A = this chain, B = another copy of it.
Amino acid sequence: MVDNTSAAALRSILDGRWSAVRDEVRDSLNSADWATPTEPVPIADYRERTTSQLLQLLREPWTRAGFSAQPGQPGDIGASLTAFECLGHVDLSLFVKVGVQVGLFGGAIAGLGTERHHREYLDRIAAGDLLGCFAMTEVGGGSDVANLGTTATYDPGRDEIVVHSPTPSATKDYIGNAAKDGTLAAVFAQLVVDGTSHGVHCVLVPIRDEAGQPVPGVTIGDCGAKIGLPGVDNGELTFDQVRVPRDNLLDRFGRIEPASPDQPSGAYTSPIESGARRFFSMLGTLVRGRVSVGGGAGAATRNALALAIRYALVREQFNRPDSDDGIPLMEYATHRRRLLIPLARSYALALATNDLVANLHELQGDSGGEADEGAVRRLEERAASLKVANTDHATRTIQTCREACGGAGYMWENRFGALKADTDVFTTFEGDNTVLLQLVAKGLLTQYKDSFESFDTRAMIAFAARNVAETVVERAFGGSIIGRLVAGAPGRDADNALQDRGGQLAIFEDREEHTVATLAARMRARAGASDESDESDESGEGVDPVEILRQTQPHMIAAAWAHIDRLLLESFAAVAEECEDDATRELLCTVCDLFVYSTVEANATWFLEHGRISPDQSKAISRRVDELCAELAPHAATLVDAFGLADAWLECPLLDRA
């Protein structure tokens, strides 16, 4: 099907717009010193190693590229995010440590602070002269940021902010950089001015002195050993009436006017009137973190697939009958399915993640003016979607790869242990996947309308019950190509619809539209059932929203997944369509077909239940998956070579011993 140049051609497609920075990472970090060690390292040593790697890395030009986010000088965000994603191939403790320092801590100051904060901190953070924490999560409620317990109370008499943990459950938990390295923390807390709470804001609080000791009022705990990420010093922070200057409030979205004769207690002002919208604007600054976590998980998954697929090509199990010729694992149909289906999805995810990074780059980068709110909202929804898709795929696929390598996969030296353990928390942090899926579903329900912006379940249901008559998917990636493909398709109901890229797109769109529309109808029915007396009730009073949520939650999750699969296909289809080299396009199209058919197969129950495919078609789809796996098996080495993984990142005895 293809010649030997295909791996290079495919790699250039996967590398995408910021391929140069990928090459830089490949070249500069291609050594055992950088790659995850192939024997367990005690936590204390691993932490030292990771801190030292972090500081060394901050001297590399490309890590600074996108970070000097002073207004007007945003840097090359796409390059920075791409480089960061590549760290997911190298070592995940380092990936997270960099993410905490640069993405979260630095990102909070860049995104939530104003010019004086940028001036004072950003260069020192970028250079590693100031190490810090992003202190959001609390013991009491991981995902419920709006209800954080920590308080930041303005004291007009001393013109200071008093940061306090009023209950044990308000202790900040799992905070990266807290146990060992951080000296300054960006603390999320309920801001209280003049006796009124104005919701969650972020305040800079010193936590360690020059000697590395906790400052008075701050108690620092060490989370100790985790399942993975041994190089990241997660810790706990508890604040006992800790005073910081008023200037330490990151005040882009809300500021404190000092006490004056008119306002003896000071006053709170904000450029955003709605508390809910302000809250979501602040959370929106997390979007880079979500994009990055998804990207890093995707990168680590490609490492695992490269190891398992290369092993399957050389490792033999059982002999041909009456022969001493062994049968390579890749010859077995189940083995092909186990590895090549996730491989196809990894391609889809990598390409969609590239699109998302470009999307973010355009929106937050050198666009000059402020992006419109709809575009920001869409970006956030896609970041959440791909964070879930990438991390869910990582957890399942790395496990599969370990199992596909049998006993050898269980030896620490062969890397699956670290890959699995380190990525395991990715489904949880930067937004728990289940919570994010609901967020995505809510976004689909409201079609990004401004009238519904909060997590408030009651408002959402009231809205869904009235306004969502029919949904229309909004194409995310691929632009006009997708429209053209769909327009030329034979129609989703045709027997041959799945054989046509446009038909595939139409089928994926249809699944999403129908799932969202029926979700809205179901919510409407539930809301109506509990509140028939007052159909005009705008507030949804009388409905028990928790009960409705309970009844519709699995449907919401299904809608979000239908959306995610459609996003992935759009990216994949557009890239495959645009590929100019015939042989490469043919190979890429076969991988895309495997992604499509295996996704329909995995969701065949839905397609059958909704009369989208017949029982015979469903069986034919499974046969087609087998065929596509057989077609791709001879190209499996090319397909993983295209990931462009440096030798040192995969170096292990596994392949020697096959």
Chain A residues close to B by CB (< 8 Å): 39-40, 42-43, 137, 139, 141-144, 147, 173-174, 223-228, 316-321, 326-327, 331-335, 337, 395, 399, 402-403, 406-407, 409-413, 416-417, 420-421, 424-425, 427-429, 432-434, 455-458, 545-546, 549-551, 553-554, 557, 601, 604-605, 608-611, 615, 618-619, 622, 626, 630, 657
A399-B399 contact, Cβ under 8 Å, with A333-B551, A610-B615: yes
- For A42, the chain B residues whose CB sits under 8 A away are 42
- Residues of the B chain whose Cβ atoms lie less than 8 Å from the Cβ of A321: 456-458, 545-546
**Contacting pair B224 A334 (CB below 8 A):** no
Subset of 25 A-B contacts with CB under 8 Å: A42-B42, A137-B407, A142-B317, A143-B318, A147-B318, A173-B407, A174-B407, A225-B411, A226-B410, A227-B412, A227-B417, A318-B455, A321-B457, A321-B545, A331-B546, A332-B550, A332-B553, A334-B553, A395-B399, A395-B403, A399-B399, A403-B428, A403-B433, A407-B425, A410-B425
User: Does A412 lie within 8 Å of B332, measured CB to CB?
Assistant: no
Distance in angstroms from A332 CB to nearest chain B CB is 6
Q: How far is the CB of A170 from chain B (nearest CB, A)?
A: 13
Q: How far is the CA of A320 from the CA of B224 in the complex (A)?
A: 33
CB-based contact B428/A407 at 8 Å? yes
Partner of A407, one of B142, B337, B402, B550: B142
Known: A144-B318, A227-B402, A319-B144. A615 touches B626 (CB 8 A): no
Chain B residues whose C-beta falls within 8 Å of the C-beta of A327 in the assembled complex: 546
Closest residue of chain B to A141 (Cβ to Cβ) is: B317
Tell me the complex Cα distance, A81–B429, Å: 41
Q: Which residues of the partner chain B approach A402 to less than 8 Å between Cβ atoms? A: 227, 424
Contact status of A407 and B429, CB under 8 A, knowing A317-B142, A545-B321, A554-B334 = yes
Apart from A39-B224, A143-B406, 16 more pairs, CB < 8 Å? A141-B317, A141-B318, A223-B411, A225-B412, A225-B417, A226-B412, A227-B417, A321-B545, A321-B546, A333-B554, A334-B434, A407-B428, A409-B428, A608-B608, A608-B609, A609-B615
Complex contacts, A412 vs chain B, CB 8 Å: 224-227
List, in ascending order, chain B residues with CB within 8 A of A403's CB.
395, 427-428, 433
Nearest Cβ on chain B to A532's Cβ, whole angstroms? 20
Chain B nearest CB, measured from A164 CB (Å): 19
Which residues from chain B contact A420 at a C-beta distance below 8 Å? 227, 424
* Cα of A174 to Cα of B429 in the assembled complex, Å: 35
Residue contact A605 to B618, C-beta cutoff 8 Å: yes
Please tell me which one of the listed residues B317, B429, B557, B611 contacts residue A143 in the complex, with CB atoms under 8 A apart.
B317
Determine how many copies of this chain the complex contains: 2
**Chain B residues with CB under 8 A of A413:** 224-225
A236 to chain B, nearest CB (A): 11
User: Inside 8 A of A319's CB, which chain B residues have their CB?
Assistant: 144, 147
Tell me the minimal C-beta distance from A294 to chain B in angstroms. Answer: 16
Complex Cα spacing A216 to B70, Å: 71
Q: How many Å lie between the Cα of A403 and that of B141 in the bound state?
A: 15
In Å, the complex CA distance between A608 and B603 comes to 12
Please judge, given known A-B contacts A407-B174, A407-B425, whether A337 and B554 are in contact too, CB under 8 Å.
yes
Q: How far is the CA of A551 from the CA of B318 in the complex (A)?
A: 17
The answer to whether B406 touches A428 (Cβ under 8 A) is yes
Q: Which residues of B contact A458 (CB under 8 A)?
A: 321
* A42, B399: Cα distance in complex, Å: 24
Residues of B within 8 A of A225 (CB): 39-40, 411-413, 417
**Whole-angstrom distance between the Cβ of A435 and the nearest chain B Cβ:** 8
Q: Which residue of B lies closest to A326 (CB)?
A: B141
Residues from chain B with a CB closer than 8 A to the CB of A550 are 331-333, 630
Decide if A432 touches B411 in the complex (CB within 8 Å). no
- Across-interface contacts of A615 in B (CB, < 8 A): 608-611
Chain B residue nearest to A321 (CB atoms) is B458
- Closest residue of chain B to A147 (Cβ to Cβ) is B319
Q: How far is the CA of A133 from the CA of B626 in the complex (A)?
A: 41
CA distance in complex: A223, B173 (Å): 37
Q: Is the CB of A410 within 8 A of B434?
A: no
CA–CA, A228 and B421, complex, Å = 11
Which residue of chain B has its CB nearest to the CB of A43?
B40
Shortest distance between the CB of A335 and any CB in chain B (Å) = 8
- Which residues from chain B contact A618 at a C-beta distance below 8 Å? 605, 608-609
Chain B residues lying within 8 Å of A416, measured Cβ to Cβ, are 227
Closest to A616 in B: B609
Which residues of chain B have C-beta atoms less than 8 A from A174's C-beta? 407, 410
Nearest Cβ distance between residue A324 and chain B, in whole angstroms? 8
Q: How far apart sit A402 and B143, CA to CA, in the bound complex (Å)?
A: 16
Contacts of A554 in B (CB 8 A): 333-334, 337, 622, 626
Interchain nearest-CB distance for A97 vs B (Å): 16
In the assembled complex, which residues on chain B have CB atoms less than 8 Å from the CB atom of A611? 615
A334 touches B605 (CB 8 A): no
Contact A224 B411 (CB under 8 A): yes
State whether A546 and B40 are in contact (beta carbons under 8 Å apart), knowing that A226-B417, A410-B424 are contacts in the complex. Answer: no
Top-3 shortest CB links A-B: A225-B412, A227-B417, A608-B608
- State A337–B334 Cα separation when bound (angstroms): 28
Q: How far is it, in angstroms, between the C-alpha of A384 and the C-alpha of B455 when the chains are bound?
A: 48
Please indicate the chain B residues that have their CB under 8 angstroms from the CB of A551 in the complex. 333, 626
Question: Within 8 Å CB of A432, what residues of B?
Answer: 406
